[in-house]
Amino acid sequence: MLLVIGLLAGPMGGIDAAPAPLPSAAAGWSITPSASPFDPAAIPWTGVSCSSDTSCFAVGMRGTFESPYPGVAVERWDGATWSIVDAPNPAGATLSAVSCPSATSCFAVGSTDSGAGTLVEQWNGTAWSVVASPAPSGATSMSLLGVSCPSASSCFAVGGYSTATAGGTLVEQWDGSAWSVVASPNPGGPGGLQAVSCVDPANCVAVGASAAGPLAEQWDGAAWSIVPTPNPKIAPGETMFGVETNLDGVSCTSTTSCVAVGFTPSDPLVEQWDGTRWSIRSSPDTKGPHGDNVIELRSVSCSSAASCNAVGNSIEISLSNDLADRAPTASVAEHWNGTSWSAVAGPKGVPASRQGPAQLGQLSAVSCPTASSCAAVGNSALAEHYDGRSWSIAPVAATSSFSELVSISCRSATNCFAVGDAGFTGGIEGLIEHWDGATWSVVPSPQPAGTDLFAQLYGVSCASPTSCIAVGGYSRSTTFSNSTGGALIERWNGARWSMVASPVPAHSTGVIFKGVSCPSASSCNAVGTYGIVVSNNLVTLPLAEHWNGIRWSIAPVPKRSDGQLNAVSCWSNTFCTAVGYSAAGRPAAERWNGASWVVTAVPSPKGTTYSTLDGVSCPTPASCTAVGSWFSTSGTATALVERWNGTTWSIVPAPGPAGAVGTTLTAVSCHGPAKCTAVGGHDGLVGYPFTGDHPLVEESNGASWSVVPAAEPAGSHGTALAGVSCPTAAGCIAAGAHLVAAGIDSSGLFTLTEQGR
């Protein structure tokens, strides 16, 4: 990720240095909440319950791919959006299921201490709190996997437990004041109870699995008893962890009508209860082209005996039928109309490009308060909504993200576009967000077909509210050492973003644009870099292209042995300045006169081993300001500011925060020669972990630069600002990202936007 490696990184020394306080200044900055697309590998949602079509709770396990389940996650649906709700998070806790008899009463169940204890949490209409739950005598591990509450004063939770020598089913009951263990039959062997459904306090059905096949138990108000269930025929040796068939979900609308769903090693499984016995019902079983895909049904919800919805996933299995080789490929949904089951069209989970290797787009739970309203949740932080005809994705809020904004362009204080990338395990997508003066929102943008490594946007420029250009690059490959890709250019016409083709330099191995500037809708200049192979070595060369309102064309830059252009600013169609670095690791600048690019000499700081200019702003042809950083022999980074007076470049002193270990500036915006604002970070460390990073804002009044306090998100473990735009002399908006947890294993990188004056 550009931000993590390039912007949060700074000096190599001073790891133990305490962050220095910012000096006081007249102006200040404040955070404006921005959208952070979720990291789909971060949250497996495992339970959902809706008391109405405008009130649902979903529960899951918050984490990362490297540390899968370090905590609980709870979100609420209000009929329009999902939002995060705070809930107690004991050490090693997970939540597996939830049941809400009303909008002001819910119970969620799971385990704590990584399975060493049961966990029950209660919603009282205002907040979630932990409620004590007992452990079976002698149990060494236990978990509650399903819960059903016919009323606020009556619930049953089911699961399983194990001792040093054996295991068994686990049932706990809520009587309105406390939870207690209730005896339940235990068939023995592997398996347990997975789900429960209660019509009333005296009538419940729980389902699961045992070594003998599917398991169903019934509560009659006094005791639990096993009810025989048919066991589908399976091929010899087809078992999963010793279990041949499994019932994962159950829903009862009356004492004479229940539906249970699950799977065998090769087929989906649906069973129906008529008040007397269970019988198998046929259901759609979509096979792959070679008969190697099967359907696993994970959950079912019935609003009436004539309307049920079941969800699960399609599984690709190996010839060995080993559970470890069973890979989910897509989510599935099926509907019961009182007569037969049929597949329901709708989103098949998140696209494959957004799926991590461990958390794929599969549906795990469903809740239907009415026949025309259902909510389903699953892995890849996935939520879907059913309107009685089809399913559509209803995105959950981002409890975990890996997203950043790196460039911003504002036509006014109420109209900005910011670009960057939305990261996730397995790939990166370009990200575009819009500011309307009140809120930031993600704007749909096209992604190059077949991209499997990255698609990132690094620069954006808006000539008008209906004309913007965003630039970046993409790559697709099967391995990182054998990739293909090119430039990514997108255009905004006032209604939507669309990709625009651009020429590729001869013999290029790849193109990435880093910056763009559009003085008008019919004139833009984009700069970046491209690679060529010389004597079996990859060499990067600076690149510039021009947009005439119809097409892009290469605008040759003076030949150098190596280097890159990082940013460009155009005062008019015939005056632009681009900055970057040269092969020798020195700052570089070039000037566009409307026909060609010309190199202009740029001084290097004394004692530098490497210097770069990353941002530039030209309010007039005789006044440009460029910012970047330079590194000493010790690896310490220092902010670099250079000024163009119409004839020459000169270094301008830019003080950093008092006591800062190192400073970097990455972008600048000038509203006239006497008012410039630059952003970046300070106290950054090169490499992992990214501790001690803070945002940096500096302002120039035309005579000198000074540090301005920047806002920092509470609990941040690293913050940097990467782009800034000042549409008025009295206001600027900056964009970047911040880490919510330190370390390489964190996927808590969230977008950040701030406003200042």
Q: How far apart are CA 300 and CA 247, in angstroms?
A: 11
Specify whether the CB–CB gap between 227 and 255 falls below 8 A.
no
Which of residues 396, 415, 448 is at a domain's end? 396
Residue type, 619: P
- Going by C-alpha positions, the residue among 208, 168, 203 that lies closest to residue 185 is 168
Q: Are residues 375 and 422 in the same domain?
A: no
Q: How far is CA 757 from the centre of its chain?
A: 31
Per-residue model confidence as pLDDT tens digits over 54-75: 999 999 887 544 444 457 889 9
For residue 376, the model assigns a pLDDT of: 93
Q: How far apart are CA 61 and CA 193, in angstroms?
A: 20
- Residue 91, domain member (yes or no): no
**What is the span of the domain harbouring residue 328?**
286-396
- Residue 735, domain member (yes or no): yes
Per-residue model confidence as pLDDT tens digits over 448-503: 876 666 789 999 999 999 999 999 998 865 443 444 568 999 999 999 999 999 99
Q: Are residues 387 and 405 in the same domain?
A: no
For residue 12, the model assigns a pLDDT of: 24
Q: How far apart are CA 431 and CA 421, in angstroms?
A: 4
Q: How far apart are CA 728 and CA 726, in angstroms?
A: 5
Helix (H) and strand (E) counts in the chain: 1, 56
**Burial zone of 595 (CB within 10 Å; 0-12 exposed, 13-18 middle, 19+ buried):** exposed
Q: Are residues 411 and 461 in the same domain?
A: yes
Residue 50: other Cβ atoms inside 10 A: 24
Distances 545 to 529, 594, 700 between C-alpha atoms, Å: 11, 12, 31
Q: Are residues 598 and 694 in the same domain?
A: yes
Q: Are residues 586 and 735 in the same domain?
A: yes
- Going by C-alpha positions, the residue among 211, 246, 218, 219 that lies closest to residue 232 is 246
- Residue 248, domain member (yes or no): no
For residue 188, the model assigns a pLDDT of: 72
Q: Are residues 639 and 728 in the same domain?
A: yes
- Show the 3-state SS of 620-638: ECCEEEEEEEEECCCCCEE
Average pLDDT in the 372-380 region? 88
Specify whether the CB–CB gap between 8 and 393 falls below 8 A.
no
- Encoding tokens for residue 207? 């389902």
Which of residues 368, 396, 424 is at a domain's end? 396
For residue 612, the model assigns a pLDDT of: 95
Q: Are residues 409 and 290 in the same domain?
A: no
Per-residue model confidence as pLDDT tens digits over 307-332: 999 998 877 655 444 444 445 557 78
Q: Are residues 742 and 606 in the same domain?
A: yes
Return the sign of the alpha-carbon dihedral for residues 647, 651, 654, 660: positive
Q: Are residues 616 and 504 in the same domain?
A: yes
6: DSSP letter: I
Residues 653, 685, 34: CA angle, nearest 5 degrees: 85
Give the length of the chain. 757
Residue type, 46: T
Using the predicted structure, report yes or no on whether residue 691 has a pLDDT greater than 50.
no
Q: How far apart are CA 617 and CA 689, in angstroms?
A: 32
- Going by C-alpha positions, the residue among 673, 624, 667, 674 that lies closest to residue 644 is 624
- Residue 552, domain member (yes or no): yes
E strands present in 71-140: 71-77, 82-84, 94-102, 105-112, 117-123, 128-131
Helix (H) or strand (E) holding 2: helix 2-2
- Residue 45, domain member (yes or no): no
Q: How far is CA 278 from the centre of its chain?
A: 42
DSSP 577-613: EEEEEETTS-EEEEEE-SS-EEEE-----TT-SEEEE
Confidence of residue 684 (pLDDT cuts 50, 70, 90): low
Most confident segment among 100-114, 385-399, 548-562? 100-114
Using the predicted structure, report yes or no on whether residue 346 has a pLDDT greater than 90.
no
Q: Are residues 389 and 521 in the same domain?
A: no
Q: How far apart are CA 151 and CA 191, in angstroms?
A: 29
For residue 455, the model assigns a pLDDT of: 85
- Residue 76, domain member (yes or no): no
Instruction: Please give the model's pTM, rounded to 2 decimal places.
Output: 0.72
- Residue 142, domain member (yes or no): no
Confidence of residue 106 (pLDDT cuts 50, 70, 90): very high
Specify whether the CB–CB gap between 196 and 147 falls below 8 A.
yes
- Encoding tokens for residue 278? 């269970």
For residue 602, what is the domain's CATH number?
2.120.10.70
Which of residues 345, 361, 396 is at a domain's end? 396
Using the predicted structure, report yes or no on whether residue 280 has a pLDDT greater than 60.
yes
- Residue 193, domain member (yes or no): no
Specify whether the CB–CB gap between 131 and 176 falls below 8 A.
no
For residue 744, the SS3 value is coil
Q: How far apart are CA 258 and CA 199, in angstroms?
A: 10
Per-residue model confidence as pLDDT tens digits over 160-180: 999 887 788 999 999 999 999
- In DSSP terms, 605 is beta-bridged to none
Counting the structural domains of the chain, the total is 2
Residue partners of 568: CB distance under 8 A and separation at least 6 = 515, 516, 517, 525, 526, 527, 544, 576, 577, 578, 579, 616
Residues 282, 287, 289: CA angle, nearest 5 degrees: 155
For residue 379, the SS3 value is coil
For residue 685, the model assigns a pLDDT of: 45
**Listed range (152-161, 288-297, 433-442) with the worst mean pLDDT:** 288-297
Q: Are residues 477 and 380 in the same domain?
A: no
For residue 240, the model assigns a pLDDT of: 46
Q: Are residues 573 and 688 in the same domain?
A: yes
**Listed range (4-18, 113-127, 410-424, 638-652) with the worst mean pLDDT:** 4-18
